[in-house]
Structures are given as structure tokens and as C-alpha cells.
Structure 1
């Protein structure tokens, strides 16, 4: 009986030691790989920004992406509360998503305002600008909001007139492939360029159920809904209305248009 107890104790001790050694190796690997993971995440973000701005090619190397981004993209910090540019933080280092979780840098949203279902909105965010001949050519805005199963993270690009859409794309989401996941479909994304955000100063862009009637007076502001994915369509519509509205970048867009940002 005694030998059986010793054998069991020895087995448990060996198992525990193996678990501890494995945990040390896993933790060490995670720490060692964290800088690489952060660099890859930054690279993916830069790739997405360039793509939505219509710059570069899909097969560019990491070196080419970094070079083109540094040459063509200007990142600026925006105070969403005032709708103006800010120097409070370094735009190259500031993380709006992290700020949205910090009570000192964000605020909770009442239900009636939280149409994008993000719960908290950061006070400061980053916009990305492409200039041509000293003038704004494209403004790229980060957008996010809940669809059916997940929060969708993406960018909307607006031309220099601050009204015409240049593109819309999402770089991260967990929507159902073939349904809500069709937000990634080039055909659906291809409907966005040329659409108009505002009508007589009021936000008018809309994802509708079904297909857009080309003869409709509202056609310039409308995009087809995602077939079989009404809730994802509604989620994208809501997140765009939030970030383009008064609680998002709406005041900033108005100030930028008036030359007061």
C-alpha cells in the first residue's frame, strides 16, 4: 500500500514539474514574440489603410508597405469632444482602442447614443490623411461597431470634398462566412466608392434592404444590403452613422470643411 502511494505521489510530482516547465517555456515564448506580434499588427493596419486609400499593390513586401505608408500617409490626433486636431498625444504612438478602455481617456455611452454597441468612446482618435499638391486628397477614418457575432473594425476613406466615399473596408471581424462575412466581398465593397455621405448637410448614407434602385433620388447615398445578413447590414449601417455623426467624427468633418479644425 505504501509503495502504491509513493508511486502515485511520484507520478503527480513529475506531472506537476512537466506542467511548470511547459508553462515557463510558453510564457517565455509569448514575451519574446510580443514585439514581433505588435509589429505584424502594425504592418497589417498600415496595409489596410493604404488599401482603403487606393494606394499600393496587394503583393507589396513589408519594407515597401512601411516606405509607402511613411511617404503618403499623415496621421493626426483628433479630439472628438471638440472636433479639432490635438497635440495632447503623439499620433504615431497613441492607441484609440486602448484609450476606449481607460476611464480617464474615454466615456461610457448612454444606450440611445450607443447605436454602434461599443459601450465606451475614446475622447481622442486618429485620422489618416493623404495629401496631393498641399491639399487634402483623401481622409481615412477608423470605424468600429457590432454586427451579428462580433465587433467589426475597419476604415472609411472619404475624398477631399469630405462627402464622396473613396472606400470602405474591414480588417477584423467574426461575422459568418458567406453571410455577414460578405463585408469582405470585393463586389459589395465595390459599391461604396462614389457614394455620397451627406445630403444638404445631413448624414444620408444608408445600407438598405435589397438592391438600390438606380432611378431613386436617394441612390447616390444608398448601398445594397448583404443578402441573408440583415443584422450584419444593420450593424455596419449603425457603426457608420455613429462614427460619421455628432458623437463620432461629425463635428471634426464639419470643422475641417470650414477650415477650423
Structure 2
């Protein structure tokens, strides 16, 4: 009888412990969710600023981001749109919704993204009433994962101000070198277009000194380099932002 009571007591204590732990974990998750959401939004802003070379010591991310205006662009017309709310629009979810995205043919889908959103967020920096920089979301498949990032252009809408990826699963030390500041710096000052066509290119090996369109490939990461090359060409091309950039340059966006 004593052994039976001891076993029952042990089971009751274990059950109560499990319940208490579950309540603590659930409560912590609920309480921490707003903080996690805020930190995620802050990190997203930081990556936008970093891609455009706008980070400054001594200033908070929110202070720096106050110079950035977020707008929505209809990629089919290449013009700004207010068809949806810019503050609540989730571009990643929209890309998976057939009603809010366009399925790409194999010829179009060089970035291997499956479908392209109809409406994209873009980020503008203006000075003295004129465009100073434009930051554009980009994504595409590398070797192991989809890379998500931003490409920033200078006021001429052709010269690269910066490029950065904030999410990917490429191999550390190889394809993961897309995060290497030295490699990212190679993009700054390069030109996207030549004679109306996308000319920027990630090549195997090293680009010739002074070449305004070619970027060194990542050593030992041919497929990741090729993936970055393709995704940049896709988003800077006719299926991506080319129409919008042309309209913006002509004051017709």
C-alpha cells in the first residue's frame, strides 16, 4: 500500500510540475512576443539602412529610418499604388498567394522564386525634394536556400549604393560569404544598366580592374554566386523593377 501511494504521489507531482512549466512557458511566449516582433522590425530597418550605407554611429535605427519613406509599387505598371495599406502589407505572404502574385514561366524564373508579387515595397530616401537613394527588396535561390536582401541605388537609379542579405541558409565560409563586408563593398559604384539592358554580372573569378559592371564571384561558391547573379538580373529586369525605375527617372511613377 505504501509503495502504491508513493507511486501515485510521484505521478501527481510530475503532472503538476508539467502543468506549471507549461503555464510558465506559454506566459513567457505571450509576454515576449511584442518584444520579439519589435526587435524583428528594428532589425529589418537596420538591414535596409545598411544596404544603402545609411548607418551612423551615435544615432538610433529609428532616428536614421525617419529619412526613409516606404511606398508600394505595382510591378505590372511600374507605378506607385495605394491599393493596399503600406503599413500592414506583408510582401512575403503575398508572394505565396496566387491572387496577389504572378506565377513565372521557367524562362522568366531565373531567380527560382516560383512566383513574383504583384505589389512590392520600395524604400525612398529624398534630399531637398529629390530622390537620393532607392532601396529595393530582392530575393532568389542560391545553393541551399532562398536569399532575402536589398539592393540600393543612387540618385541616378543606375549606380549601386550597396547590397546586403538579411536571411539565407548558405554554407558558412563559402556561399555564406555573401555577408562578408569586403565582398559586399565590391558592389558599391557598379552600374546596373548599359544601353537599356541589365549589364551587372557576378562572374567566376575576378573582374577586371575598372570594369563598371562585373563583380568577383565568391571563391568556392559557384552556385551561390550564380544564384546572386540571377536574382539581381531578375529584379533589375523587366519582370522586376526596371519599369518602375524608368518611370521614376522620367517622373512618371
Q: Would you call these one fold, judging by a TM-score over 0.5?
A: yes
Instruction: List structure 1 runs of 4+ shifted beyond 3 angstroms.
Output: 2-21
**Aligned position for 1:22:** 21
What is the distance in 1 between the residues matched to 2:144 and 2:238? Answer: 26
**Aligned position for 1:99:** 94
**Aligned position for 2:48:** 49
**Aligned position for 2:213:** 221
Equivalences, count: 253
What is the distance in 2 between the residues matched to 1:8 and 1:119? Answer: 57
Match of 1:122 among 117, 120, 123: 117
Unaligned runs of 5+ in 1: none
| Cα distance change, pair 27–109 in 1 and its aligned pair in 2 (3 A) | farther
Aligned residue runs from structure 1 range 153-192, under 5 A: 153-192=148-187
For the residue of structure 2 that corresponds to 1:232, the secondary structure is helix
**Aligned position for 1:138:** 133
Q: CA offset at residue 52 of structure 1?
A: 1.8
Q: CA offset at residue 113 of structure 1?
A: 2.2
For the residue of structure 1 that corresponds to 2:187, the secondary structure is coil
TM (normalized to structure 1)?
0.88
| Cα distance change, pair 25–60 in 1 and its aligned pair in 2 (3 A) | farther
**Aligned position for 1:259:** 251
Q: CA offset at residue 8 of structure 1?
A: 6.4
Aligned residue runs from structure 1 range 29-108, under 5 A: 29-57=28-56, 59-60=57-58, 64-70=60-66, 72-108=67-103
Aligned residue runs from structure 1 range 204-243, under 5 A: 204-214=199-209, 219-243=211-235
2:52–2:163 Cα contact (<8 Å) kept:
no
RMSD of aligned Cα (Å): 2.1
Q: CA offset at residue 16 of structure 1?
A: 4.8
**Which segment is superposed worse, 226-235 or 248-257?**
248-257
TM (normalized to structure 2)?
0.90
| Cα distance change, pair 210–39 in 1 and its aligned pair in 2 (3 A) | same
